[in-house]
Structure 1
């Protein structure tokens, strides 16, 4: 990690785009001026802010930065750059009194006159902060030609990097950017974080920075080092620093380092974690904690990208997904991977869509772990039947319609004979059928054959809880045709029962249910 510099982020779009935030050097006074810089980058009317910015911290100590402009905005930018240790050259016909004083003191170099492209020679970054849009754009064009990052104040599209809102706690910095398009939101988030992060966070970072070499000597193994940090952060040291008892905190840290026994190799373990149906907001706090502690994550194909983004960035992600007709990772291979990584001392998360113990083969995996003597835990998840029904506006039980609920899974083309169809066809109950896309014609025929009315409502929920969720409704008689006509794909959950009809009135998430056959299917029937 750099000790001083700027947050720089690259993104697709015109040329290069970056987000930058100045960092203080060890000997520079901290400035909060750059926390307003997000507003400086507000887009002009009609312009679209860029997206996909990539943040990184850059060391500007001793590196040349050009600021074009001699007014108050240029002075504010220059102050932040000086605090980051940059060597700042300010180009403008005239300077305001503050910049003039800094030039006289030798803190900055003044380049008098109108902008010339050669001012960018030897510059690592540049900021255009004049009140002349044409000059600012000329700086941006010259920087682009030289592959030099340029920020243009009040011009998002011309800027190669943005300066975000910033929260500082000693060496700890949090940079916030809306991409330049919503500066008030960035400021709101900064103000919120300012109240939630107390000043002792900086003292804690300084303590850990001082002790970094000793910690690495004591814990050469990364996994052991990470566990030690977790114990320290969960112990009394943060509270001592909050109370201003810095000497006691230092002694407590030394005692923790001496008392800890790193010689024994870390014991690996496996956590079976339910990821829910896809909406990352449905992950439990305990599941999120497991993801942040994991060294290795073995995840199903259906675990959403948004959930995987909650994992620790340096965790190893291994997809072990299976889908109908394409088991590219066998269950036996999943068992081998769990044992292999746990025996290597890793903390493994077996991340499953929905809940591990509801059609997730979690019991089989725990039996393998127990037999091998590997420690494990189970973190429940919200199973698809509960989440998909809720997001589709279908109450699984209802005093007027259903007094019981059955959860069913089957690849019906192959295993229809294994189910108790007489029980499944009973009235006043709700069926929730997992993997409910294949074999819908068999399901319909079997239920009607064993007494379920052909007029029984159904709701077929595709990608439940995700932004692309679709709900198809109808009656049991036209179940297979309706699903085929709307080209419903996995993952999908089928709900059969009177409660399914409530989706038409109670839906609240995503588009309204599809209650009619698609136009091409209707035309085919008419022909």
Structure 2
């Protein structure tokens, strides 16, 4: 994080703006809107800028900048096209420890002005740290389209009743649960419908009745194969609602970071033959936290119900009568194959696909090999890196052609993705020369050859998700 985002109260605080052109006018509008006491200095000042400053009770100085103008100033913005002057202003502000923003020159800044979505009193700021203002503005436009103007009125309603809620619910967790229910329920819908008075009456009744739901609940969330952009909207919404997040090795750190900052994060490990927390203990943890009245997110790589042991977890939750939700995720087979440019089915090569675990509970490979050797079937092996020699050997022994193509995908959909392609007969030797790192996914079948045929795939860098 290059800059710590802060929201600053500028009401009646003296702020100096150096510059008198269009850029300075945009900055002056922001400062005046925030209630700043504006001091403006420039030789040439646009008439509308001068009028804005005067109407806001500010001061216009037509002439040269001087360091004496920094006396008692809270914030400085340099918005000129004079590089030497901008550097002088920046140096003087740094010497006096006055926050300074130099437009389009982040190296001279101690503060950055973000792109703003104004739903007052709800304010959302987007910044690239000065690296790409255009990208920040693009992100602002996307957010503006998805955040109704009525959110500002909703925030005001919450502010009007905040003290009453605090007095009614002494426990901070009870207050949070109350507000979560309020902001996602019929009271909020009344505000969105323009019926603010009705919403206020409903909120007053809800506070009086202490209408909160502090019961525990568990969310089994499929985090996908690694790329955070593959998370579903529902997965993200429930993750950000959780008080406790249990996650394992297959969940990307960037996805874990999407949870609430105040949520407890519990690492439960689970590498091959090295479980930080055994599965049965994970099941008990889910029950324990839920019975404490907490919302619990169980983040699982891929999809919870495809080799994710989600079934075992919900069995225990159901037995303990704990409410739960299961959020499907993009399974590794789909995500990794797509990012590697390998279609799992194809009219000319494979009319079916089969998902197989590379090791069973006893770590053996006691698989129905005779069912996995059909030439028009794609077979995907999860967790099969250690057992790869046996996989290749058994498939050939049971009738699959030794020249059948096979792909091993390392850390699919992430920046560390690698794809190694060989045949059943040569893959073990190939990996001995070019080792890969877990987690991996193995794809066996004629569809693997399509990766080589789609030459444009690598040229367009689709393996990194650039579709």
For the criterion TM > 0.5, the same-fold answer is yes
Report the Cα distance in structure 1 between the residues aligned to 2:32 and 2:223, rounded to whole angstroms: 46
Report the Cα distance in structure 2 between the residues aligned to 1:375 and 1:55, rounded to whole angstroms: 37
Structure 1 residue matching 2:107: 3-state secondary structure: coil
Aligned position for 1:200: 150
Q: Is the 8 A contact 1:392 1:508 kept in 2?
A: no
Q: Is the 8 A contact 1:469 1:510 kept in 2?
A: no
Distance 1:405 1:200, change over 3 A: closer
Count matched residues: 461
Structure 2 residue matching 1:480: 3-state secondary structure: helix
2:77 maps to 1:123? no
Aligned position for 2:302: 354
Distance 1:428 1:247, change over 3 A: closer
Aligned position for 2:315: 367
Structure 1 residue matching 2:451: 3-state secondary structure: helix
Report the Cα distance in structure 1 between the residues aligned to 2:93 and 2:300, rounded to whole angstroms: 48
User: By how many angstroms is 1:115 displaced?
Assistant: 3.6
User: By how many angstroms is 1:295 displaced?
Assistant: 1.2
User: By how many angstroms is 1:457 displaced?
Assistant: 0.9
User: By how many angstroms is 1:155 displaced?
Assistant: 2.8
Aligned position for 1:258: 208
Report the Cα distance in structure 1 between the residues aligned to 2:382 and 2:10, rounded to whole angstroms: 56
User: By how many angstroms is 1:448 displaced?
Assistant: 2.1
Report the Cα distance in structure 2 between the residues aligned to 1:386 and 1:367, rounded to whole angstroms: 26
User: By how many angstroms is 1:495 displaced?
Assistant: 0.9
Report the Cα distance in structure 2 between the residues aligned to 1:462 and 1:508, rounded to whole angstroms: 21
Report the Cα distance in structure 1 between the residues aligned to 2:5 and 2:457, rounded to whole angstroms: 33
RMSD: 3.2
2:132 maps to 1:158? no
User: By how many angstroms is 1:56 displaced?
Assistant: 2.4
Distance 1:203 1:423, change over 3 A: closer
Aligned position for 1:279: 227
Deviations 1:118-150 (A, max 9, x none): 543443321113342211111112222333321
Report the Cα distance in structure 1 between the residues aligned to 2:412 and 2:443, rounded to whole angstroms: 12
TM-score (norm 1): 0.77
Aligned position for 2:329: 381
Report the Cα distance in structure 1 between the residues aligned to 2:117 and 2:250, rounded to whole angstroms: 36
Alignment of 1:68-87 (within 5 A): 68-70=18-20, 73-74=23-24, 76-87=26-37
Deviations 1:355-384 (A, max 9, x none): 112211222222332333322222222221
Aligned position for 2:172: 222
Deviations 1:203-226 (A, max 9, x none): 221111111111222233333333
Aligned position for 1:402: 350
Aligned position for 1:241: 191
Structure 1 residue matching 2:324: 3-state secondary structure: strand
Deviations 1:18-53 (A, max 9, x none): xxxxxxxxxxxxxxxxxxxxxxxxxxxxxxxxxxx4
Deviations 1:175-198 (A, max 9, x none): 233444554454455455555544
Structure 2 residue matching 1:161: 3-state secondary structure: coil
Equivalent residue in structure 1 for 2:394, among 446, 452, 461: 446
Deviations 1:409-441 (A, max 9, x none): 234997445333343345432221111222322
2:160 maps to 1:210? yes
Aligned position for 1:456: 404
Distance 1:413 1:96, change over 3 A: closer
User: By how many angstroms is 1:75 displaced?
Assistant: 5.1
Alignment of 1:12-91 (within 5 A): 12=2, 53-70=3-20, 73-74=23-24, 76-91=26-41
Instruction: List gaps (5 residues or longer) in structure 1.
Output: 1-10, 13-52, 514-527
Report the Cα distance in structure 2 between the residues aligned to 1:185 and 1:512, rounded to whole angstroms: 22
Aligned position for 2:422: 474
User: By how many angstroms is 1:322 displaced?
Assistant: 1.6
Q: Is the 8 A contact 2:239 2:259 kept in 1?
A: yes
Deviations 1:316-372 (A, max 9, x none): 222222212432233243234222321211110111001112211222222332333
Aligned position for 2:464: none
TM-score (norm 2): 0.86
Report the Cα distance in structure 1 between the residues aligned to 2:279 and 2:154, rounded to whole angstroms: 45
Report the Cα distance in structure 1 between the residues aligned to 2:203 and 2:361, rounded to whole angstroms: 62
2:290 maps to 1:342? yes
